[in-house]
Structure 1
Amino acid sequence: MGNSKIKGFNKSEKSIILAGQTDSKLHVYQTTDEKELIVLKSKSSDIDPTDPLLPTLEARMLLTVQDPNHSGVGIAAPQIGINRNLIWVQRFDKTDDPFEFYINPRIIWKSKLTRLGAEGCLSIPDRKEEIQRSYAIRLQYQDKKGQFIEENIEGFTAVIFQHEVDHLLGILYPDRLEEQTSAGYIELNEKIPFSLQIDKKTILP
């Protein structure tokens, strides 16, 4: 993640960012469109965290993922036609489940422990699949001053991060579905009984 090699937004990217005001959402690219699929399957590059157009893109991406007609729990820049390492993720592991913006995120570690859960995608219409994802990850990203930050994340929020970072690598979740069919997994819930220790006064539903 060397800042010396990072370039600003190109002409095409600027045209997308400036095609609307900060209070207008963006078009979400779809896998059903061949030209848009090429963008979705392309690997993204880093962006300068201090780029002056970044706040505009940030605001428009948030409006897009929170569109009540087609809302999601995360969105990556390739999904709106910009192959840059930028994502929004809803943090269900924090109070009030806030959406947070991440610049140049990378997953630098994944747990071998996985969970199986249903996933959909704003860019893939009318489809959901059960996908194996690591239960815990370590995320590295930059803040708006360019400082590097690392964080451990678990559970469903970690799944969202894995889904969105995959977008930055040109990977769509059906690719993971094909991958997991050839991988081996041990069903731990059949091998290890999990229990909750309670006291006599505890009432459980």
Structure 2
Amino acid sequence: MAIREILVVPNPVLKQVSQPVERVDDELRALMDDMLETMYDAPGIGLAAIQIGVPKRVIVMDLGTAEDRQPRYFVNPEILWASDDTLPYEEGCLSIPEYFDEVDRPSRVKLRYLNYQGEQVEEDADGLFAVCIQHEMDHLEGVLFIDHLSRLKREQAVKKVKKLRAA
């Protein structure tokens, strides 16, 4: 396993649409292991492959604690259904360090994806899980959480990141 570099705005790679994965094999599992280690090191709770420069439809997530890790793997995830009711949540992103803002997303979703073993899974997500999976799935479409904000707030976020990187 290796810790990879996390791309930050305004890197144009983050705006790419990720490609579907053909199959879950040892090479893909090695990528997911690297992603998980990178996410833990950052530290964060979710990471999409595009954030480390790999345009594949792969996400890792862990909503557990440092003492009780609960790693999750999502290959080719898709949302089958989303609730009409929304949940405002203050989001952050490893690709937009030190910037947080509130985003409204559906409070519940039904997902389908392949897991670490390549098995198809369907499950319901709500609360933080629903917010996080939608945030990460946005990355697969080249969408950042700041794209859900006003133009002024987006510009402020990018400016803040550039300033932090220059320091």
Q: Which stretches of structure 1, 4 residues or more, deviate above 3 A after TM superposition?
A: 143-147
The answer for the alignment partner of 1:115 in structure 2 is: 87
Between structures 1 and 2, the one with greater strand share = 2
From 107, 112, 119, the counterpart of 1:140: 112
Between structures 1 and 2, the one with greater helix share = 2
User: How far apart in 2 are the matches of 1:47 and 1:148?
Assistant: 13
TM-fit CA distance, 1:48: 2.4
From 10, 20, 36, the counterpart of 1:62: 36
User: How far apart in 2 are the matches of 1:110 and 1:42?
Assistant: 24
TM-fit CA distance, 1:144: 4.7
User: How far apart in 1 are the matches of 2:113 and 2:143?
Assistant: 19
TM-fit CA distance, 1:38: 1.7
- SS at 1:170 equivalent: coil
Q: Percent identity?
A: 36
C-alpha RMSD of matched pairs (Å): 1.7
Classify 1:103/1:79 alpha carbon distance in 2 versus 1 (closer, same or farther; 3 Å).
same
Unaligned runs of 5+ in 1: 1-21, 180-205
CA contact (8 A) 1:140 1:151 kept: yes
> Using CA pairs below 8 Å that are at least 6 residues apart, which structure has the higher relative contact order?
2
Matches within 5 A, 1:1-205: 22=1, 24-32=2-10, 37-67=11-41, 70-91=42-63, 96=68, 98-144=70-116, 146-178=118-150
Aligned residues: 148
TM-fit CA distance, 1:85: 0.4
CA contact (8 A) 1:90 1:157 kept: no
Unaligned runs of 5+ in 2: 152-167
TM superposition score normalised by structure 1 = 0.67
